[in-house]
Structure 1
Amino acid sequence: MALALGGAAGLALTAAAPAASAPAASAGGGPADARTVTYQARLRPLNHQTGSGRLTLRLRESTATITEQYSGLAATLDGRPYPHLQHIHGGARGMCPPASADRNRDGVVSTAEGTPYYGRIQATLSVKGDITPQGGTDLRNAPKGPSVRYQRTITLSPAAVASLHKGIAVVVVHGDDPRTLGRKARNEKSELVPSLPLAVTSPALCGVLRAIPAGGAVTGTGSTAGTGRSTGAWLLGAGAGLAGAGALARVLFVRRRNRAAFRPA
């Protein structure tokens, strides 16, 4: 089976996405991406796979430093390490597809069926070489094997940067284990690259890239989680309350003293 599938095959995977709008300007008049912003995606399994992982992307202007690790995916394909194509998708709903996206009822959400949810490829996360959508199906440059520790610094397109700023950028790792699929899906060919099995180009892991605070990921549960009120803000509020209570006590003291001074003998 041929492993190099760039060019026309790559174009088939990413048929021209609409142009994304430029990042909004900040309040100070400069571009919103003039500082480093950190995004994270928790990678969850799709299509009956069992893997998991996490990807962190640090963006400064259009330069993205990416670190990723995942495990639990299919290990081999035709006796060789399984090439797991992976991309940043965007320009759509910013979601990982639900099982109901399987329109032809073969038990697999294919890349095409998932596109309305996560959008078209805006960057290829290859280990070397082409990072454009056109390189999206080049198996030679894909991470290989059941687990990976990936790190690379790349320059993103304006469309990819815009998707990150809008919160609709999605990481998709492809390559299902055919043994986990039903008989119908196991025998199907990829609708994108007919020389490949459907499993090779179907999503295995997916996660939405979300911006995280400078100090780290947001934590906390229960009714107080996500209120955005810091400890410092609470202390300031408490201090203001105590100051107010002290002022009220002084007013009451003065009033009592004045009443005592003018009380008839």
Structure 2
Amino acid sequence: MRKSAFFAVPALAMAGLAMSAAPAMADTAEQESWSVQTSLSEVNGSGTSGEAMIDVQGNEATVSMNVAGAAETFQDGPFPHAQHIHISGQGVCPTMDADEDGDGVVSTPEGQPSYGTIGTSLTLEGDTSADSALAVERYPGGAEYTYERTFELNDDTLAAIEDGSAVVVVHGVNPELLSAEGQEKMSPLNEELPLAATAPAACGTLTASQMEEMPEGGADTGSPVNTDEGSTMALAGAGALGLAAVGGGAWALHRRSVRS
């Protein structure tokens, strides 16, 4: 929502005011606030759904999310759910047609043409760049959670949000919900992890917000935004190296506080 203020000024002072106020007005324009939102729809039959809203002022963003129906446990601990804003793709969530190898699961690389690469990692604390794509100890976990964090957006992510091509993705699917073949496979990102650990679970394309605040009462309330079914997560480069270092055991870390 873009706002502007109008001030009543005596006519004789108008010229001087226009000259002196120009820098301040320009600064105000740069700090205009606006919002985008999305409904997160399940991917890979995960049963995961939710809502995400981003309030933007200048380059600062407050990201709020409600997620429910997610994978609950992994190796006797809360199942960590990596979550990101993806950019530089088609700006949509892939359908099952993206399953190129026919195993009944859209893997993270198979979804990349639709949602693009990672622009921002929605971590609980610390770095939010693509370098933290698989910093599993810094993501929320469990069957349902609420997330809120304020941080500075990088220019590429901000541009994608503004042009409507940014996609929010939550990862991690209960292995029992995958196909028999999918349950036997390991992640294409790291052979120490099952395919389910990094598979996209929920996805939504960010669009101009019609709500003033996050809906109350759970992840499946509020006004839905139409999105294609699908997933996302271009976990490559530094992200893949991070996962190799973390290994399967890190997925059993305890859930941390959601607010940073």
TM-score of the superposed pair, with normalisation by structure 1: 0.68
- 1:164 and 2:141 aligned: no
Alpha-carbon RMSD: 2.2
Question: Kindly tell me: are residues 196 and 213 of structure 1, through their superposed partners in 2, closer, same or farther at Cα, counting changes over 3 Å?
Answer: same
> Who is 2:80 aligned against?
83
Distance of 1:175 and 1:201 partners within structure 2: 5
Cα offset for 1:169?
0.4
Give the Cα separation in 2 of the matches to 1:31 and 1:113: 42
- Cα displacement (A) at 1:210: 0.5
CA shift at 1:29, angstroms? 8.0
Once residues 108 and 33 of structure 1 are traced to their aligned partners in structure 2, the CA distance between those partners, rounded to angstroms, is 43
Match of 1:205 in 2: 202
Shift of 1:194: 2.4
Q: CA deviation at 1:206?
A: 0.3
Structure 1 residues not aligned, in runs of 5+: 1-27, 220-265
SS at match of 1:104: coil
CA shift for structure 1 position 156:
1.1
**CA separation of 1:152 and 1:58: change in aligned 2, threshold 3 A:** same
Q: Distance in 1 between matches of 2:187 and 2:76?
A: 20
Q: Which amino acid aligns with 2:127?
A: D
Match of 1:65 among 59, 62, 84: 62
Structure 1 residues 141-197: Cα deviation after superposition (integer angstroms, max 9, x where no partner): 111101001110011111100100110000000001100111211111111122211
- Where has structure 1 moved over 4 Å in runs of 4 or more? 28-33, 213-219
Matched residues in 2 for 1:107 and 1:71: separation? 23
| Closer/same/farther in 2, CA of residues 60 and 176 from structure 1, 3 Å limit | same
Equivalent in the alignment of 1:131? 128
Distance 1:182 1:107 in 2: 6
Which structure exhibits the higher relative contact order, with contacts defined as CA atoms closer than 8 Å and separated by 6 or more residues?
2
Partner of 2:182: 185
> Larger Cα Rg: Structure 1 or Structure 2?
1
Deviation at residue 79 of structure 1 after TM alignment: 1.3
Q: How far apart, in 2, do the equivalents of 1:172 and 1:194 lie?
A: 22
Partner of 1:95: 92
CA change 1:213–1:49 in 2 (3 A) is closer
Instruction: Tell me what 2:16 maps to.
Output: none
In structure 1, the partner of 2:147 is: 150
Structure 2 runs not aligned, ≥5 long: 1-24, 215-221, 224-260
Q: TM-score, normalising length from structure 2?
A: 0.69
The share of aligned pairs that are identical, in percent, is: 35
| Cα distance, 1:109–1:216 mapped onto 2, change above 3 Å | same
Q: What is the number of equivalent residue pairs in this alignment?
A: 192
Secondary structure, counterpart of 1:112 in structure 2? helix
Amino acid at match of 1:183: A
